[in-house]
Amino acid sequence: MILYAAYGSNLDPGHMQDRAPHSPVYAVGWLEGWRLSFGGEDVGWEGALATIVEDPGERVYVMLYDMDRYDAERLDVWEGVDAQLYRRIRARVSTLDGEILAWTYVLNAYEGGLPSKRYLHLMADAAQKAGAPTDYVEGLRARPTA
């Protein structure tokens, strides 16, 4: 089993169905000790790109997918792993059934910059579709944009 912890716009099940059609949703949970951030504003999306940064006391809502090997390879391409835009790391995800190790992606760029309004709106909508708590979705919507 290859578990992938999706955050940002990848929380949208429809979006992930296009990117990883053979990989069903496994669970939802939290990356405890991480926070959602943005960086690399010069590489796309009219602003900074989503990433996660270790930060005690913070947490990021994620949706876990049981990744098919083919889909995992395709997702690496989508996320720009070969181009070194993002890198895959293993992180602990807290779920209702306990902690699980899962793969996720971290941006290979400096932290800083603001996301575009369009990108942040996609992320908030994705979090809502994934069943994130209302305060989490509202917090996304309230973030500053470029």
Give buried/exposed letters for 59-87 (b at 16+ CB in 10 A, else e).
Answer: bbbbbbbbbbeebbebbbeebbbeeebbe
Cβ-contact 23, 67 below 8 angstroms: yes
pLDDT of residue 45: 62
Q: Which domains does the chain have, with CATH numbers?
A: 2-137 (3.10.490.10)
CA angle 141, 120, 37 (to 5 degrees): 95
Answer yes or no: are the C-beta atoms of 93 and 62 closer than 8 Å. yes
pLDDT at residue 137, rounded to an integer: 98
**pLDDT value of residue 56:** 97
Residue 43 pLDDT: 63
pLDDT of residue 41: 72
Query: What pLDDT shows up at residue 1?
Result: 84
pLDDT value, residue 30: 98
- Report, as ranges of residue numbers, the positions in the chain whose pLDDT lies below 50: none
The C-alpha atoms of residue 106 and residue 104 are separated, in whole angstroms, by: 7
Instruction: State the first-to-last Cα distance of the chain, in angstroms, to the nearest integer.
Output: 39
pLDDT in tens, 83-101: 999 999 999 999 999 999 9
pLDDT at 86: 96
What pLDDT is attached to residue 42?
Answer: 64
Handedness of CA 114, 132, 129, 106 (dihedral sign): positive
